[in-house]
Amino acid sequence: PADHLAIELALTAHLTAADHPDRLRLVARLAAWVPRFRDALRACDETGFWSAAADLAVAVLDRATETEPTHQGANDLRRGREK
């Protein structure tokens, strides 16, 4: 599909809303490759728009997995929640 990540994130949102047990497996799978995708995107994103969207996706996945953040932006978001 043209926007594989959007489809995967939409499915993740649907499974999460339904509290479906497969949501954790899908989130873990996405968390394994989306940070690398974000990094590759930064190299070719002239405007920064898509990189910022990918930063948001990584932060959401970090939050969903409750693991160590995969980038500094997620650390900043977590510090903001703790205040």
**3-state SS record for 4-73:** HHHHHHHHHHHHHHCCCCHHHHHHHHHHHHHHHHHHHHHHHCCCCHHHHHHHHHHHHHHHHHCCCCCCHH
| CA–CA gap between residue 42 and residue 28 (Å, rounded) | 22
Segment 14-28 shows an average pLDDT of 92
Q: What is the pTM of this model?
A: 0.70
Pair of tokens at residue 22 = 């497969």
Q: Given a cut of 70, is residue 8 above it in pLDDT?
A: yes
Pair of tokens at residue 42 = 């930064």
Could you read off the pLDDT of 47-78 as tens digits, one per residue? Answer: 999 999 999 999 999 988 874 344 444 444 44
| CA–CA gap between residue 30 and residue 26 (Å, rounded) | 6
The SS3 assignment for 81 reads helix
